[in-house]
Amino acid sequence: MSKIPPDLLQGWDIVVIDDEPDSLEIARYILDFYGAHVHTATNGKEGIALVETIKPRFVISDLSMPEMDGWEFVQELKSTVYTKDIPVVALTAHAMKGDRERAIGAGFHNYLTKPLTATTFMDELLILLLDIPQLSDYLTL
Amino acid sequence: MHSAMLNDKQGQKTTSRHMQWSTWSLQRQLMTVVTAIGLAVVIGISLVFILRQNQTLKSQLEERAITTLISIDVATIDEIYFTNVDQIETIVTNFTEMSGIRAIRIYDADGRLLVATDDTTLGASLTNDPYAVTLLQIDSPQLEWRSDRLVAGQRVTVGNQVLGVIYVELSTSHLNNQLQISLLQSFVSAILVGIFGVVAVLFVSRSLTNPIATLVSQTRFIAHGDLTKPIYVQGGSSEITDLGATIEEMRHNLQKIYTELEQRVAERTVELKLARDEAIAAQRVADENSRLKSEFLSTMSHELRTPLNAIEGFTSIMLGGMGIELSSRAEDMVKRVSSNSKRLLHLINDFLDLSRIESGRLELIKEPISPQRLARKWEAQVGVLAEEKGILFTVDVNPDLPPLILSDEDALSKIAINLLSNAFKFTHKGQVSLNLQRVSNEWIIAVSDTGIGIPLHAREYIFDEFRQVDGSSKRLYGGTGLGLALVQKLARVMGGNVSLQSEIGEGSTFTVTLPLEIAEENEQGAVL
């Protein structure tokens, strides 16, 4: 998996939501490198507005955030007809046991653990994306 | 005899009702005893009186009989001498007019009847009457008591010549009447005494038992635990008032003690409540402290990791071939930044794990794990170290191990990665090997190296936090010194332990022994 094509996400709109600017910047930089258009928000509320206007291929959202956290965000997103089919991947720094099941139960497609690094982030993300039929077709492999 | 009979009856009563006697009320007992004694005394006195009266009457009658005999003797002696029957009869008839004289008979010296004032056929001849016969022989007057009469007789003599016999019968009816009257009097007085006794006893016993009854009803309150009602006995004998006063004193003291006790209990209750409240408050503080500590650890964990994650993220981008141009010197420095941030992250993770274990907040789970897959995962994680140092790395999973075991993957990984990292750190040539195998009902993770080895004296404290073999090795080999402490604590928390064999210059083997729990086959689906 070490050789991921640099145009893997060519032209994809992706929304990343996190209250840590550094984290957003790292995600933006990596995803941008693989050709994606990255849109960022710093809380769930902004995220909802962004998702509604952008209609991204998928969303990466942190769980603990001010104003509206990741759990509320995914609940809100999944309750709206226009946005309910957009896959959301959770992002968390402290992966506790059972979090994966809890996240999937809450409506997340799956989750990624921090730290986001150039080496592990894309490997893990690719595995997740291949698992989502509506997205795997678009991957430029 | 009368009284004996009465006593006997009383005795029977006493024995047959002996069981009940003791259960009788005091009043009834008193009444019975006093009445019985009163009756016995009255009857006894009456009997003595009657007997004495009877005696007196009898002797009076006897005296009269003798007087009568003498009077008749004096009056008739001449006529008897001359056997002047008519004259005798006249005189004797006069005598019969005296009260109480039933009959007078005069016999001659041969015992033939001369005169009789009653039915003569009865005493036609003295010879018919053995008593009368003796009269002729004896000089002195003779008396004989018969059922309803007193018979008296006397020889009539002139000088030595016996002229005849005077025979007198005196009625005892007067005597009997007198006796009957006396008996009646005694009977009446006995009844009166009985009634008086009953009344007197009733009166006395009332005055005796009433205060006792009062005392009983008053003390009943005490028996039922009510100490507030004072005991006061009105009237009654001094013993009972004394008893009442003593009970009252006792009640008063009891009440005092009880009140004091209640007060002390109340005080103690307040004290206990205060102590309990304090304890609860202290517990709350402790709980709060514990919660705060836990929260602090969690926050610290997050706050420490966030900047490190950022460093890790940015350095990875700079080194990840994402179009960032770095000079070779810059790349070297970024690598050092990355490696230092990794170490710091590792240290923080170990530190947080140790904190969790020590505060008992480490939660272990049991899930089916494939030892094969675990070994491959660990191999992938640390294989790069072997490559970097040019050391041989062998991994062997013994087929004795079941395909699935129940354990906590995170904990196992921390143990293995720490041991493997250590092994690579202290090994410069040769090999590092990872060995997973079953030993009866346990299984082991063994990590061997051909490194510098651990001196004997260091083996005691090598598992302590922040201890390496010596200060110089710390500088030489870096590391935090938390890894082995974490390995040992995790192994122990999981019910196992870690042991060490080492030889200076030859290498070391760390062996983690853990209890083996085999997962059911049907749980295989849960893996991967």
The one-character DSSP state at B363 is P
ipTM score here? 0.89
Measured CA to CA in angstroms, residue B302 lies from B295, B348, B454 at distances of: 10, 10, 36
Q: Which of B436, B406, B427 is nearest to B517 (CA)?
A: B406
Domain ranges of chain B: 2-191, 363-526
Give A-chain residues touching B301 at CB under 8 angstroms: 94
| The predicted structure's pLDDT at residue B122 | 57
| Run means of pLDDT, 10 residues per run, chain B, 528 residues | 44 51 76 80 84 86 86 84 83 81 82 76 63 76 82 84 84 81 82 81 75 82 83 74 84 88 91 91 86 79 84 90 87 91 84 80 85 91 85 91 90 91 87 92 92 79 64 47 85 91 87 89 49
B384 close contact with A: CB closer than 8 A = no
Q: Tell me the Ramachandran region of residue B426: left when phi exceeds 0, alpha when psi lies from -120 to 50, beta otherwise.
A: alpha
Do A117 and B301 count as a contact with CB atoms less than 8 A apart? Answer: no
Tell me whether residue A131 is in a domain: yes
**Fold classification of B363-526 (topology level):** Heat Shock Protein 90 (3.30.565)
Smallest CA–CA distance, residue A22 to chain B, in Å, is: 6
Smallest CA–CA distance, residue B393 to chain A, in Å, is: 22
The count of domains in chain A is 1
Q: Which of B108, B101, B104, B117 is nearest to B79 (CA)?
A: B108
Tell me whether residue A96 is in a domain: yes
Q: Which of B312, B354, B303 is nearest to B481 (CA)?
A: B354
Q: Which of B357, B307, B334 is nearest to B493 (CA)?
A: B357
Nearest CA in chain A to B410: A97
Say whether pLDDT at A34 is over 60.
Answer: yes
Give CATH for domain B2-191.
3.30.450.20
| The predicted structure's pLDDT at residue B315 | 92
Q: What is the 3-state secondary structure (H, E, C) of B291-327?
A: HHHHHHHHHHHHHHHHHHHHHHHHHHHHHCCCCCCCC
| The predicted structure's pLDDT at residue B451 | 85
Measured CA to CA in angstroms, residue B268 lies from B13, B29, B261 at distances of: 61, 52, 10
Do A114 and B314 count as a contact with CB atoms less than 8 A apart? Answer: no
- Residues A111 and A128: their CA atoms lie apart, in Å, by 9
* Chain centre distance of CA B448: 71
Among B302, B313, B363, the residue with its CB nearest the CB of A115 is: B313
Tell me whether residue A129 is in a domain: yes
B298 close contact with A: CB closer than 8 A = yes
Whole-model pTM? 0.51
B306 close contact with A: CB closer than 8 A = yes
Give the burial string for B174-201 (b: 16+ CB within 10 Å, else e): ebeebbeebeeebeebbeebbeebeebb
Among B298, B307, B322, the residue with its CB nearest the CB of A118 is: B322
Q: What is the DSSP string of A52-110?
A: HHH--SEEEEESS-SSS-HHHHHHHHHTSTTTTTS-EEEEESS--TTHHHHHHHHT-SE
Task: Write out the residue range of the structural domain in which residue A84 sits.
Answer: 13-136
| The predicted structure's pLDDT at residue B19 | 57
**Domain containing residue A65: CATH number:** 3.40.50.2300
A105 close contact with B: CB closer than 8 A = no
Chain A to chain B Cβ contacts (< 8 Å): 57
| The predicted structure's pLDDT at residue B528 | 41
Higher pLDDT, A140 or A89: A89
Among B302, B313, B316, the residue with its CB nearest the CB of A22 is: B313
Do B308 and A20 count as a contact with CB atoms less than 8 A apart? Answer: no
Do A94 and B319 count as a contact with CB atoms less than 8 A apart? Answer: no
Residue B437 class from Cβ within 10 Å (0-12 exposed, 13-18 middle, 19+ buried)?
middle
Say whether pLDDT at A97 is over 80.
Answer: no
| The predicted structure's pLDDT at residue B275 | 92
Among A20, A23, A118, the residue with its CB nearest the CB of B317 is: A118
